[in-house]
Amino acid sequence: MTTLNFKPRVPVFDANIRVGDSYDAPSPCPNQAALLAEMDRHGIARAVIYHAQTEEISPIDGNHFLETWLGDARLTPQWSVLPTAASLAQIERLHGQNRVSSVRLHDTRSAGLPFRPWAYDKLLTWLSTHQIPLWIPLPNTDADELVTTLQGHPELVTVLVGAHYVHHLQVRPLLAALPNAYLELSRYEPIGEMEALRDEFGARRLLYGSWYPRYAMGTMLFYLHHTNLSEDELALVCAGNLERILDG
């Protein structure tokens, strides 16, 4: 009889999980223990986490709330940032404590600050100097602004998160224009595209991430296991690439 049980064949490090309650709905995982149990249910060993309030209140407040989710080695904090003096000072303080392995750009559209060099160059220069990778949500950032601004910082490693099949026409030009950018695969499910991106750009530029609870935790993980990626390529996409990026 066919079974519906699924377990990943390789170690898994989720690149994109949101924790905490949003303004209009409680989180399905109210605390760290519940999140770890959900990860166990899907065979996910580790995860990069950021707090929902960094999107809906402010990066500074959300980063404070994130502290309550930490303390387990399986959960890697991701601090959010805006190019303001107070936000950058907070990130610099955390960096001085050796607690920053990546940062996440606050929603540029809701903040009302276009992702342009005149607004973001100081922040991006600091991140590049300290070799701190930047996660940028694709749904919340203008693609033209993205390319124009990041091309001025070619050494900065970026992860374009939240890829969805609606971004199909953007993905290839973005990866071609930004050689130091990686694609996080939240719901990027066009048939045959995973293999096509692997063939064109290499498996080293693709990352598994769920964007849970915005999307289900296991959907993309299941999909990746049913492509023709080799076991080595699957291991890179599911964990190896993220480990390398966070290690600098």
Tell me the C-alpha distance between 217 and 10, whole Å: 16
Q: What is the mean pLDDT of residues 224-244?
A: 97
Task: Check residue 4 and give its pLDDT.
Answer: 66
179-229 pLDDT, tens per residue? 999 999 998 988 899 999 999 999 999 999 999 999 999 999 999 999 999
Handedness of CA 10, 15, 20, 26 (dihedral sign): negative
Instruction: Quote the pLDDT of residue 23.
Output: 79
Map residue 136 onto helix, strand or coil: strand
Would you say 78 and 50 are in contact if contact means Cβ atoms under 8 Å apart? yes
**Separation between Cα atoms, residue 201 and residue 16, nearest integer Å:** 21
* Model confidence band, residue 165 (pLDDT cutoffs 50, 70, 90): confident
Q: For 112-144, what is each residue's pLDDT tens digit?
A: 789 999 999 999 999 999 999 999 999 888 999
Predicted confidence (pLDDT) at residue 82 exceeds the cutoff of 60: yes
Distance CA 114, CA 1 (A): 54
Half-sphere exposure of 157 (CA within 13 A, CB side): 17
* Residue 61 CA: distances (Å) to CA of 48, 49, 103, 217, 243: 18, 15, 15, 26, 27
Q: Express each pLDDT in 53-75 by its tens digit.
A: 998 788 999 999 999 999 999 99
Per-residue pLDDT for 3 more than 80?
no
SS3 call for 87: helix
Q: Would you say residue 172 has pLDDT above 50?
A: yes
How would residue 1 be classed by pLDDT, with cut points 50, 70 and 90?
Answer: very low
CA distances to 40, 184, 189, 203, 212 from 76, in Å: 16, 16, 26, 23, 15
Please report the pLDDT score of residue 228 as a whole number: 95
Task: State how far the Cα of 191 lies from the Cα of 5, in Å rounded to an integer.
Answer: 23
Mean pLDDT comparison of 20-34, 106-120, 149-163, highest-scoring range: 149-163
Q: What is the pLDDT of residue 236?
A: 98
Output the 3-class SS for 168-216. HHHHHHHHHHCCCEEEECCECCCCCHHHHHHHHHCHHHEECCCCECCCC
Residue range 85-94, pLDDT digits in tens: 999 999 999 9
Q: How far apart are CA 197 and CA 240, in angstroms?
A: 17
Distance CA 84, CA 32 (A): 30
Mean pLDDT of the 150-173 span: 93
CATH number of the structural domain 13-246 = 3.20.20.140
Spatial strand order in the sheet of 134-137: 79-81, 103-105, 134-137, 158-161, 181-184, 206-207
What percent of the chain stands above pLDDT 70?
98
pLDDT of residue 25: 83
